[in-house]
């Protein structure tokens, strides 16, 4: 099933949460000179035109990125994120970055990107977008199953890696694929920093996923969720999203404790808006 295209959702509230966490993790990894690999299992197209018919059809960026760009009196952490995003898009002012584009902007010359995208059209767009960067040899794009591709890359030669797993969850099997893949990945490379994005839906499999992830690493994890509105009575739609990180930076809980309340106030759509932050750092 290859119907999901992130172009319809780019810049929404889930992207803002996911990319703030990704920026924070990569900047922490940059504190050491030693190289790392960034592995993205569901990379998408990498760069999205917000003036395109796809983005305009739903307009989710208006309740996400647009509010962030126009906000005033933001704390330093969000001003920094906003600057990172705008700096990585100097020639694409009407665009928003996907995770691979943001990662390449933060990665250094010695770091490597391994990007998987199963949708043929998006994989080709991703290849073209990655060719625009100043050091294209850093990034390799694979039109392949990211769950299997991740396992083929572990352990990385540098023994340092940040992994992002964010499938579309169109299929119920994706929830179990995430858990099974992470379990296998931890056996091959226990020291990796594994980031899982997931939607907050009124569905059992969505509510159960973070509980299943917690079982994989109960002593070294971080879970952050942003809920932007009340779940709808019909159970349809995503009322929030979460990021679950195994082996997170020890600084991340404090960073998110400052950042998440701001995001609730900025992107919340009704009185139900709230956040969740749980962690255990080994």
DSSP letter (8 states) at residue 63: G
190: which residues sit within 8 A by CB, 6+ positions away? none
Residue 219 is a catalytic residue: no
93: which residues sit within 8 A by CB, 6+ positions away? none
For residue 221, give the 3-state DSSP assignment.
Answer: strand
Q: How many CA atoms lie within 13 A of 204 on its CB side?
A: 1
Backbone angles phi, psi at 234, to 5 degrees: -85, 0
Integer Cα distance of 156 and 192 in angstroms: 9
Q: Shortest CA distance to 269 belongs to which of 234, 237, 245?
A: 237
Catalytic residue among 111, 122, 166, 174: 166
Integer Cα distance of 252 and 130 in angstroms: 28
Q: Shortest CA distance to 34 belongs to which of 151, 157, 201?
A: 157
Q: Which residues are catalytic?
A: 166
């Amino acid at each position: 099933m290859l119907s999901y295209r992130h172009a319809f959702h780019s810049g929404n509230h889930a992207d803002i949460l996911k990319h703030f966490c990704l920026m924070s993790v990569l900047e922490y990894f940059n504190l050491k000179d030693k190289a790392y690999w960034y592995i993205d299992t569901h990379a998408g197209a990498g760069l999205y035109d917000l003036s395109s018919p796809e983005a305009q059809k739903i307009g989710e960026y208006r309740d996400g990125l647009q509010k962030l760009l126009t906000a005033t009196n933001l704390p330093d952490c969000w001003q920094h994120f906003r600057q990172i995003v705008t700096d990585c898009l100097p020639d694409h002012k009407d665009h928003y970055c996907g995770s691979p584009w943001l990662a390449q902007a933060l990665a250094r010359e010695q770091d490597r990107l391994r990007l998987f995208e199963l949708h043929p059209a998006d994989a080709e767009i991703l290849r073209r977008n990655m060719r625009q960067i100043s050091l294209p040899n850093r990034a390799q794009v694979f039109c392949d199953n990211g769950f299997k591709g991740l396992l083929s890359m572990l352990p990385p030669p540098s023994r340092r890696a940040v992994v992002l797993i964010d499938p579309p969850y169109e299929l119920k099997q994706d929830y179990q694929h995430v858990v099974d893949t992470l379990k296998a990945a931890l056996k091959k490379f226990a020291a990796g920093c594994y980031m899982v994005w997931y939607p907050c839906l009124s569905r059992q499999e969505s509510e159960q996923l973070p509980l299943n992830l917690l079982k994989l690493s109960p002593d070294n994890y971080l879970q952050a969720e942003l809920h932007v509105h009340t779940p709808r009575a019909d159970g349809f739609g995503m009322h929030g999203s979460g990021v679950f990180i195994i082996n997170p930076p020890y600084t991340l809980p404090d960073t998110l404790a400052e950042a998440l309340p701001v995001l609730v106030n900025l992107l919340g759509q009704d009185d139900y808006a709230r956040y969740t932050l749980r962690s255990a750092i080994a």
